[in-house]
A and B are shown apart, each in its own frame.
Chain A
């Protein structure tokens, strides 16, 4: 099926909106093709298309039920709404039910590129082959090329009628050079904007440069974290405590610290789905317009993100960060960005007397949520620097480090930013950072 468009999305939603009381329908469609390669051959290629209508129905003023179906037919949607109603009737009253948002004007955001939506598997395979064939002899590549489109509509009984369509194209490549590996990735709204050759070259250079890595004793070192590694830290901050509900429950590292300095004044973090390079849609899953929120402003904890419920509780305007109902975790920032600085990334490395350059992290997890300590491994390009020059690759290291402590020791912020994606956190943009103290707690064997 090709693009549905606003009218058909909203027509599907209408079937869920009958009856008394508040009702809401969230309609989504996603179709994407992904070409996956490993060992320099295409080994898993897929295409899938899914549709979903999530109906939220309120009875007796404050009993709420949600049901979801993967079918846009009016009968199936109406059945989901009936199911949501029966769920609501079995629910105890939600004494904090805030109602639903009303109609709003939405800003422009996101981009839909017809050519990307229509990309064929042969185009993706050709891009993959192009990346593989430009590698030097003896190097092998693994990664993905994905193209697709996503459509979303939110409608409710209070007059919200929001819809948007976006396209996406991503390319990731890991180059294996035996004892060294390198990685690069990019995401754009349009396939034509991906520079696959540059990604392959960058990953290959890292792979070759990290061959025959030396042991580096675990320790606390000055580091330069490249954008993909910084993205991991920013995303974990978002997960741990930029949402108002986490703040209210006392499980956010920001609880009681709004307005206080939490890290270096060189660090500012925002959530901004409307930024030209964010590829977001202009409203959240409740149909509230998305707004740019400054979360950390020059090192000071400056704000939180709110869904409709938490905004009502706090007496503020919702920021457009609601998740699909019923959203027990509350609002989440899905378009985080750390603002760039003025130093070219190369200068960050040149300013490193003795230290480590990290390309990206792997399998990071929370050790201690309140002091933002996380642990994970370096991967695909970890280098030792002396006198501003990369000397050699080093075997991968485990870090166990408080994010806020690392961000408090930032010496310089890179001027260029990179976009990195994680399945559970959305896409985040960040620059490279030079950090004076970063703790690697142990090492591995490769």
Chain B
């Protein structure tokens, strides 16, 4: 059966089983990943998965059923099974789920793609990575060099009982390199453009080519080796400038998750956690300094959270959530918006056909202000430049965080100086964002990827992004060793 027939059949079966509301997604996702270590191709996988997921509301309770088995009998059974699951949920119901209104869309949308990355020959992909590793290995002292490519293409057909009919295709491409140096009981790693398999954006093969992996490889390798001889970052309280990739993850962990309305309402309590932010904090809670403005924007070019419509048919949009340091909105689904006020803002996403859509980040962006990184460093009398994440952790209400980064450079009198290894910093969310005093401008603003955000049960992995420019924070505790604070 064609996908259009499958989704229509599944929607009919849900209606036949007396669903009050139903939506159906047929999703096909193609994935390809290549990993090269030194001169060996260590991993090349191509995966192709498709299936149908049916979500229903019955008497105000949700049910969801999904399968990769796409015969007519199997698909027809999904609607009935979803309704059966919803009816079972009535055993423990308080209030009926209501949905904030959305205009049913009939539309199609695709990521702008310069060159189809799946059509690029494997020899070209492998050659790109082998060349990058070879360029790393021109630097003596590495334990190993590694380079990788990841491609995703997801086509989603969405039908709802309200009349929505959406066909969209999202294409995402990424690549990266890492250099690992080992000496005795120490291991140091430098990555480019980001850790954990590099940088990923919406788009085609041009994304990978634009990274110039081989051109950056010798520097990355040199820095990994230099880190082995660098001193440990001493513990102190100081000014820090976070580079874009690290700041992106800082936004992710200490802003994006904290403003997800499902967490705020307790729906993630048992797993990912809740939030220190309350539903009544809109317009009242000072989250950070007046330099801090954050938007949730699923229209950001290049973002992994960029699409035409979310997975409940809400059109992509740009929503301010923090304005001049004050909370002004949340990441909201139709259900949570109806429960807590406001409108759904296109943040309902599933990680594939088999998953129930959840409130997820799309592109949660710190708005740029002014100046360049060089100017910001020059304007800093005493501090550190912290570069590229290697470790992250935050409590289940998103208050106490601790990050590790790959490298730190001392800043003295406006100039970069000594390199430090094993840098860490920690803090509490609103104190930290309250110490923000400078954000670089649009010329430094990059959409950084977080392609592996886990949430939900069963756990889903979302690909999200954060547009940020480097920023400066004061009175930050660095070099976490033992007890403090």
Interface of A with B (CB < 8 Å)? 1, 32-52, 65-71, 80, 83-84, 87, 90-92, 94-96, 120-122, 124-126, 128-129, 132, 142-144, 146, 172-174, 176, 183, 217-220, 249-251, 325-328, 362-371, 375-377, 379, 396, 398, 400, 423, 439-446
- For residue B392, CB closer than 8 A to chain A, the reply is yes
Contact with A along B387-411 (1 / 0, CB 8 A): 0000111111101101010000000
A residues in contact with B134, CB < 8 Å:
none
Contact (Cβ within 8 A) B356 A46: yes
- Docked CA distance A80–B396 (Å): 42
Q: Assuming A87-B44, A125-B89, A142-B266, is B457 touching A251 (CB within 8 A)?
A: no
B residues in contact with A65, CB < 8 Å:
44
A131 to chain B, nearest CB (A): 10
- Docked CA distance A95–B37 (Å): 13
- For residue B9, CB closer than 8 A to chain A, the reply is no
Kindly identify which residue among A45, A66, A251 contacts B62, using a CB–CB cutoff of 8 Å.
A45
Kindly identify which residue among A91, A365, A377, A439 contacts B395, using a CB–CB cutoff of 8 Å.
A377
Kindly identify which residue among B45, B85, B144, B397 contacts A33, using a CB–CB cutoff of 8 Å.
B85
B residues in contact with A375, CB < 8 Å:
391, 393, 402, 480
A residues in contact with B422, CB < 8 Å:
367-368
Closest to B77 in A: A1
B residues in contact with A376, CB < 8 Å:
393
Q: Assuming A38-B269, A144-B270, A219-B483, is B91 touching A122 (CB within 8 A)?
A: yes
Q: Assuming A45-B63, A48-B67, is B47 touching A68 (CB within 8 A)?
A: yes
What are the 5 closest A-B residue pairs judged by CB atoms, nearest first?
A: A218-B483, A90-B122, A121-B88, A444-B400, A328-B43
Contact (Cβ within 8 A) A67 B45: yes
Contact (Cβ within 8 A) B81 A94: no
- Docked CA distance A327–B481 (Å): 35
- Docked CA distance A132–B53 (Å): 29
- For residue B94, CB closer than 8 A to chain A, the reply is yes
- Docked CA distance A48–B143 (Å): 43
- Docked CA distance A83–B268 (Å): 40
A residues in contact with B318, CB < 8 Å:
none
A8 to chain B, nearest CB (A): 13
- Docked CA distance A325–B47 (Å): 12
Contact (Cβ within 8 A) A124 B88: yes
Contact (Cβ within 8 A) A66 B397: no
Within B34-75, the residues touching A (CB, 8 Å) are 35, 37, 40-51, 53, 61-69, 74
Q: Assuming A68-B46, A142-B270, A328-B37, is B126 touching A92 (CB within 8 A)?
A: yes
Contact (Cβ within 8 A) B69 A1: yes
Contact (Cβ within 8 A) A220 B88: no
Contact (Cβ within 8 A) A38 B92: no
Of B180-188, B205-213, B290-298, the one with at least 4 CB within 8 A of chain A: B180-188
- For residue B365, CB closer than 8 A to chain A, the reply is no
- Docked CA distance A395–B195 (Å): 33
- Docked CA distance A95–B482 (Å): 47
Contact with A along B160-200 (1 / 0, CB 8 A): 00000000000000000000101001110000000000000
Contact (Cβ within 8 A) B483 A370: no
Q: Assuming A41-B94, A366-B391, is B48 touching A68 (CB within 8 A)?
A: yes
- Docked CA distance A328–B89 (Å): 42
Q: Assuming A87-B46, A90-B121, A91-B122, is B89 touching A442 (CB within 8 A)?
A: no
Contact (Cβ within 8 A) A328 B64: no
Contact (Cβ within 8 A) B88 A143: no
Q: Assuming A41-B93, A49-B67, is B46 touching A67 (CB within 8 A)?
A: yes
Kindly identify which residue among A38, A80, A251, A443 contacts B270, using a CB–CB cutoff of 8 Å.
A38
The B interface is mostly helix, strand or loop, or mixed, namely mixed
Kindly identify which residue among B65, B66, B454 contacts A423, using a CB–CB cutoff of 8 Å.
B454
Contact (Cβ within 8 A) A47 B64: yes
Kindly identify which residue among A121, A146, A250 contacts B143, using a CB–CB cutoff of 8 Å.
A250
Contact (Cβ within 8 A) B454 A442: no
Contact (Cβ within 8 A) B89 A42: yes
Contact (Cβ within 8 A) B122 A441: no
A residues in contact with B354, CB < 8 Å:
48, 50
- Docked CA distance A440–B480 (Å): 11
- For residue B273, CB closer than 8 A to chain A, the reply is yes
- Docked CA distance A250–B451 (Å): 27
Contact (Cβ within 8 A) B400 A398: yes
Within B119-147, the residues touching A (CB, 8 Å) are 121-123, 126, 130, 143-144
Q: Assuming A42-B91, A125-B91, A365-B391, is B428 touching A144 (CB within 8 A)?
A: no
- Docked CA distance A251–B391 (Å): 16
Contact (Cβ within 8 A) A250 B74: no
Contact with A along B446-457 (1 / 0, CB 8 A): 000000001011
Contact (Cβ within 8 A) B268 A38: yes
A residues in contact with B46, CB < 8 Å:
66-68, 83-84, 87
- Docked CA distance A92–B69 (Å): 35
Contact (Cβ within 8 A) A326 B45: yes
- Docked CA distance A144–B457 (Å): 8
Contact with A along B345-373 (1 / 0, CB 8 A): 00000000011100000000000000000
A residues in contact with B480, CB < 8 Å:
367, 375, 400, 441-442
Contact (Cβ within 8 A) A251 B187: yes
B51 to chain A, nearest CB (A): 7
- For residue B284, CB closer than 8 A to chain A, the reply is no
Kindly identify which residue among A49, A68, A368 contacts B69, using a CB–CB cutoff of 8 Å.
A49
Closest to A330 in B: B42
- Docked CA distance A46–B259 (Å): 25
User: Which of A94, A132, A220, A400 has most chain B Cβ within 10 Å?
Assistant: A400
Within B94-109, the residues touching A (CB, 8 Å) are 94
- For residue B156, CB closer than 8 A to chain A, the reply is no
15 interchain pairs (CB within 8 A)?
A32-B458, A34-B457, A39-B94, A44-B64, A71-B68, A120-B84, A121-B63, A144-B270, A218-B484, A368-B422, A371-B185, A396-B400, A398-B393, A398-B426, A444-B397
- For residue B214, CB closer than 8 A to chain A, the reply is no
B482 to chain A, nearest CB (A): 6
Q: Assuming A45-B63, A87-B122, is B458 touching A250 (CB within 8 A)?
A: no
B residues in contact with A377, CB < 8 Å:
393-396, 400
- Docked CA distance A142–B268 (Å): 8
User: Which of B50, B61, B88 has most chain A Cβ within 10 Å?
Assistant: B88
Contact (Cβ within 8 A) B44 A50: no
